[in-house]
């Protein structure tokens, strides 16, 4: 056994072996994998081996497509047969909503370059002789789906890694991890100790236990899952082609051909977590869990109505095995916050669809400093300390049980809520708020009418919120709107060196004392890492604010790049709650709460200061994402409620109203203001995203400067635009394709209805040469082409006079 290595991967399942292979592929040869038993001894050996590229997150989809494309290459490289069957796959719709969603997905696949197509019942029946199509509307067919031999695929990655120089130690259990001052790790195994610069947790079913060895609690939960193998079926025996993978969510069943029978599985509603007190170290390799077919009965009965011949098929084998879920079902990948050089590659629910992509992204991150694309949807930092063990269990159970239900774009899931609430949550509730969740915290989406039930109907079209959000927007533009902004991310940077440290971290020019500036943050390769707002209280104290759900992500990046003596950064999001008031009456509201002179002359746009608001010491920033005259008022959490008591009478006096995030989204679209994860993300550079004007290219040094200069001098292929769409009952949600005649010229990043301008709006990236407002464009909404046109000027107050008034 070697005593030193650049990296040690813990776990020889499909994910660990893929990580090992990709590390060697990208150039690290001095890498080791430790496996407790034999390779595949966790979940991997008993997987059904199905793979597909489709995922509701488009960046995860890209990585899944990469995984699928990789299999042939890895088989050829390693010489290991992986039993690859590219059968194609059918995703069946038997309800109108499911069909609408599949058609919308199909349109989005044009943007991704996936070769999917929509097929009707007759063609479905031709591909699958077992199905009764009497209730089927159609299906989405993806030729890139299929199945493989899990053992072969795992060993193929392992062999290819070995060929590149990696070493694999089987029957070597990692029992302890000790961190060293130089950020290396002592990886203590039952066969000896390896000192590693980096450790990767690919422990699968044991990932939580491996995390605990490094002092971190990862939100992964193992769930039981069954599939059945049938005896041979005459319809399959006589078929000319292999049957495609079938995912029939309305029928609550999935299946694929296995020899001349089928492998069929369900996601039972009675989701059952496994080994809640810790995965036993002696589990695995050949063991399975006792079957509980009674849990499957309801779903199977439904499935057999669609596939009648399965009802009488003999069952050859029943598999009940565990595999892990994160709270949202996506993997946990990347540098684990709080544990330097300890990397996560776990919580991978679909290892044979995602393992290749996870391995690639992680290896890029470790070796090149960042993954190529935006993989926030898989980033381990997307969960914070709120994601406790009970939270993770509740969420994993809900995710599992809902696998076969429609996930509506406007749906907020129920499990693990409420776990984190604003200090004025009871008031928000009493005002009939309908809540969403951001980084665990309940945030108001809109306020249902008094006397009605506070709920939003789940739909692919406009919901019952639509007319209410209109009222919220109109009140904001004509009187004032009030929103709880406690969930916004807030970071305090302080110390004698605070300015210099921030100046290096942020690409924008820092504000002077009392000023506010928009300050993009870049990665070393010049991609956007944050659309932050920086507020300077004194040259030694700054408040940086950004999207609240990115707190863990931001803090990890700050820790890595804000390395200066005499400068500290602290996440104060949970210390400061806050309200934003915006609209023509916003100043009158603030004046009623403070003795300070807040006239435009004394307190102009993009300035900030400390002042007493009501009885509370507050930091007040004069800006608003709505484009109205507005203020963000940050207040110590314990004083939020008292301040609200003083604010409430003003709602009546100035005809204001509570508003939620939906109204904010509508109003920012009317102003063509982009937001993070949509218009701005690691997928874009500042120049293409229209943020170049906030980058101070003259600064001698900042993270990403060289790349930013190159970006500035390059004409981007696509640019960010706003579109007005002739929508009918449904607005764009994101990634819908944009066409000029038949040519795909771009895609939507976000959309909604502009209630104050009376039109459906979207933002998106289009080919740079598409310039004229008169161009006739279309955007595909729920599968239907809708006329669209570019809007060059903000539709509300294009000169920005209101926010400066
Ligand atoms: C019934 C069933 C059907 C499935 N069907 C599919 C499917 O069709 N398609 C699909 O994509 N996915 C499927 N899955 C899910 C798939 O099996 C998992 O996503 C995948 O196996 C996860 O791989 P992994 O490498 O992360 O974890 P694992 O396979 O659990 O591997 C982790 C490895 O780490 C080792 N290990 C852990 N701790 C240590 C330590 N301290 N020291 C040394 N070694 C350690 C373990 O021995 C183990 O070999 C299915 C799962 C089940 C249960």
Best mutation site among 192, 204, 263 for ligand 1, i.e. most ligand atoms within 8 A of its Cβ?
Answer: 204
352 CA: nearest ligand 1 atom: 11
Average pLDDT along the chain, 805 residues, taken 10 residues at a time: 98 98 98 98 95 87 94 96 97 95 94 94 97 97 96 98 98 98 98 98 98 98 96 95 95 94 92 96 89 92 94 95 96 97 98 98 97 95 97 97 89 96 98 98 97 96 98 98 98 96 96 98 96 97 97 95 86 97 98 98 98 98 98 98 97 98 98 97 94 96 96 93 97 96 96 98 96 91 95 96 97
Q: pLDDT at position 141, please?
A: 97
Q: How many angstroms separate the CA atoms of 606 and 512, rounded?
A: 11
Alpha carbon 334 to chain centroid, angstroms: 14
Q: Is 321 in the pocket of ligand 1 (CB under 6 A)?
A: yes
Tokens 């809902």, residue? 402
CA-wise closest residue to 473 among 731, 724, 658, 673:
658
Between the CA of 729 and the centroid of ligand 1 the distance, in Å, is 43
14 lines ligand 1 (CB under 6 A): yes
Cβ partners under 8 Å of residue 126, min gap 6: none
Residues 273-305: tens digit of each pLDDT: 999 999 999 998 888 999 999 999 988 999 999
Model pTM?
0.97
- Token pair, residue 316, equals 């050859």
**15 CA → ligand 1 middle, Å:** 8
Closest of 544, 446, 448 to residue 494, by C-alpha: 544
- List Cβ neighbours of 683 (8 Å cut-off, separation of 6 or more): 59, 373, 374, 527
Q: Of the residues 20, 32, 38, 47, which should be mutated to test ligand 1's pocket, given the most ligand atoms within 8 Å of the CB?
A: 47
Residues in the chain: 805
CA gap 263, 261 in Å, rounded = 7
**What's the CA-to-centroid distance between 739 and ligand 1, angstroms?**
42
What's residue 490's pLDDT? 98
Residues 82-99: pLDDT tens digits? 999 999 999 999 999 999
Atom of ligand 1 nearest to the CA of 204: 27
CA 169 to centroid of chain Cα atoms: 34
**Sign of the dihedral defined by the CA atoms of residues 626, 627, 633, 634, in that order:** positive
The atom number, within ligand 1, closest to the CA of 281 reads: 38
Q: What is the pLDDT of residue 54?
A: 85
Contacting residues for 50 by C-beta, under 8 A, at least 6 apart = 145, 146, 147, 245, 254, 256, 352, 353
pLDDT of residue 270: 87
Residues paired with 517 in a beta bridge:
534
d(CA 373, CA 151): 29
Is the CB–ligand 1 distance for residue 43 below 6 Å? yes
How far does the centroid of ligand 1 lie from the alpha carbon of residue 51, in Å? 14
**Distance (Å) of CA 497 to CA 388, 504, 524, 673:** 36, 11, 22, 32
Residue nearest to atom 10 of ligand 1 (CA): 350
Local structure of 118: helix, strand or coil: strand
Separation of CA 502 from chain center: 27
Q: For ligand 1, what atom is nearest to the CA of residue 17?
A: 25
pLDDT of 56: 79
- Which string of b and e fits 251-269 if b means at least 16 CB within 10 Å? bbbbbbbbeebbbbbbbbb
| CA gap 448, 464 in Å, rounded | 9
Q: Hey, whose CA ends up nearest to atom 48 of ligand 1?
A: 42
Give residue 555 CA to ligand 1 midpoint distance, Å: 30
pLDDT the model gives residue 627? 97
Return the bridge partners of 32, or none. 8, 167
Task: Give 226 Cα–ligand 1 centroid separation in angstroms.
Answer: 15
For the Cβ of 41 lying below 6 angstroms from any atom of ligand 1, the answer is yes
């Amino acid at each position: 056994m070697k005593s030193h290595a650049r990296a040690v991967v813990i776990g020889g399942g499909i994910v660990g072996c893929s990580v090992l292979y990709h590390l060697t592929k990208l150039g690290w040869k001095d890498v080791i994998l430790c496996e407790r038993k034999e390779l595949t001894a966790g979940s991997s050996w008993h997987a059904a081996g199905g793979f597909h590229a489709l995922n509701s997150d488009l960046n995860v989809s890209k990585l899944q497509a990469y995984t699928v494309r990789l299999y042939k290459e890895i088989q050829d490289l390693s010489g290991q047969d992986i039993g690859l069957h590219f059968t194609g796959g059918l995703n069946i719709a038997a309800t109108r909503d499911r069909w609408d969603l599949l058609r919308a997905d199909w349109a989005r696949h044009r943007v991704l370059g996936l070769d999917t197509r929509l097929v009707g019942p007759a063609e479905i029946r031709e591909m699958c002789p077992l199905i009764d199509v009497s209730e089927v509307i159609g299906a989405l067919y993806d030729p890139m789906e299929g199945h493989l031999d899990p053992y072969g695929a795992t060993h193929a990655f392992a062999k290819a890694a070995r060929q590149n120089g990696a070493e694999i130690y089987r029957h070597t259990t990692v029992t302890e991890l000790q961190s060293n001052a130089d950020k290396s790790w002592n990886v203590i195994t039952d066969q000896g100790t390896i000192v590693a610069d980096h450790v990767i947790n690919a422990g699968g079913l044991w990932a939580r236990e491996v995390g605990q060895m490094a002092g971190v609690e990862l939100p992964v939960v193992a769930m039981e899952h069954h599939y059945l193998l049938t005896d041979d079926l005459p319809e399959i025996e006589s078929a000319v082609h292999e049957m495609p993978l079938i995912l029939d969510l309305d029928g609550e069943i999935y299946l694929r051909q296995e020899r001349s029978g089928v492998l069929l599985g369900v996601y039972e509603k009675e989701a059952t977590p496994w080994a809640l007190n810790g995965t036993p170290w002696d589990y695995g390799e050949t063991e399975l869990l006792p079957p509980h077919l009674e849990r499957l009965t309801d779903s199977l009965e439904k499935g057999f109505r669609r596939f009648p011949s399965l009802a009488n098929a003999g069952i050859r084998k029943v598999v009940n095995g565990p595999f892990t879920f994160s709270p949202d079902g996506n993997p946990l990948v990347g540098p684990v916050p709080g544990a330097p050089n300890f990397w996560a590659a776990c919580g991978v629910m679909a290892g044979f669809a995602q393992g290749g992509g996870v391995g690639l992204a992680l290896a890029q991150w470790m070796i090149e400093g960042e993954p190529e694309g935006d993989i926030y949807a898989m980033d381990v930092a997307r969960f914070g300390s709120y994601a406790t063990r009970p939270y993770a269990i509740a969420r994993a159970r809900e995710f599992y049980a809902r696998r076969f239900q429609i996930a509506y774009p406007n749906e907020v899931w129920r499990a693990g809520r409420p776990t984190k609430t604003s200090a004025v949550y009871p008031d928000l509730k009493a005002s009939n708020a309908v809540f969403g969740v951001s980084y665990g915290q309940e945030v108001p989406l809109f306020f249902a009418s008094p006397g009605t039930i506070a709920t939003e109907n789940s739909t692919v079209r406009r919901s019952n919120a639509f007319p209410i959000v209109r009222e919220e927007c109109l009140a904001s533009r004509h009187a004032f709107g009030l929103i709880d902004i406690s969930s916004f991310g807030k970071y305090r940077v302080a110390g004698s060196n605070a300015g210099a440290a921030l100046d290096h971290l942020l690409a924008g020019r820092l504000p002077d004392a009392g000023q506010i500036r928009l300050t993009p943050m870049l990665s070393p390769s010049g991609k956007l890492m944050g659309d932050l707002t920086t507020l300077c209280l004194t040259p030694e104290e700054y408040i940086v604010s950004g999207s609240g759900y990115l707190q863990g992500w931001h803090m990890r990046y700050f820790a890595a790049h804000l390395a200066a003596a005499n400068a500290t950064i602290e996440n104060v999001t949970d210390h400061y709650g806050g309200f934003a008031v915006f609209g023509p009456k916003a100043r009158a509201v603030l004046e009623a709460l403070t003795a300070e002179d807040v006239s435009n002359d004394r307190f102009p746009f993009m300035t900030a200061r400390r002042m007493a608001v009501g009885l509370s010491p507050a930091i007040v920033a004069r800006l608003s994402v709505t484009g109205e005259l507005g203020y963000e008022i940050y207040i110590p959490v314990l004083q939020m409620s008292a301040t609200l008591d003083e604010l409430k009478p003003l709602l009546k006096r100035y005809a204001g109203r509570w508003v939620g995030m939906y109204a904010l989204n509508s109003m920012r679209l009317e102003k063509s203001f982009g937001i993070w994860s949509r218009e701005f993300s690691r997928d874009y550079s500042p120049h293409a995203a229209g943020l170049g004007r906030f980058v101070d290219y003259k600064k001698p040094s900042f993270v990403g400067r060289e790349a930013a200069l190159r970006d500035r001098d390059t004409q981007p292929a696509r640019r960010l635009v706003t579109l007005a769409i002739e929508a009918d009952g449904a607005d764009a949600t994101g990634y819908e394709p944009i066409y000029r005649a038949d040519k795909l010229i771009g895609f939507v990043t976000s959309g909604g209805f502009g209630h104050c301008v009376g039109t459906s709006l979207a933002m998106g990236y289009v080919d740079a040469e598409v310039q004229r407002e008169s161009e006739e464009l279309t955007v595909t909404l729920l599968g239907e082409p809708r006329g669209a046109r570019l809007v060059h000027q903000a539709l509300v107050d294009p000169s920005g006079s209101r926010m400066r008034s």
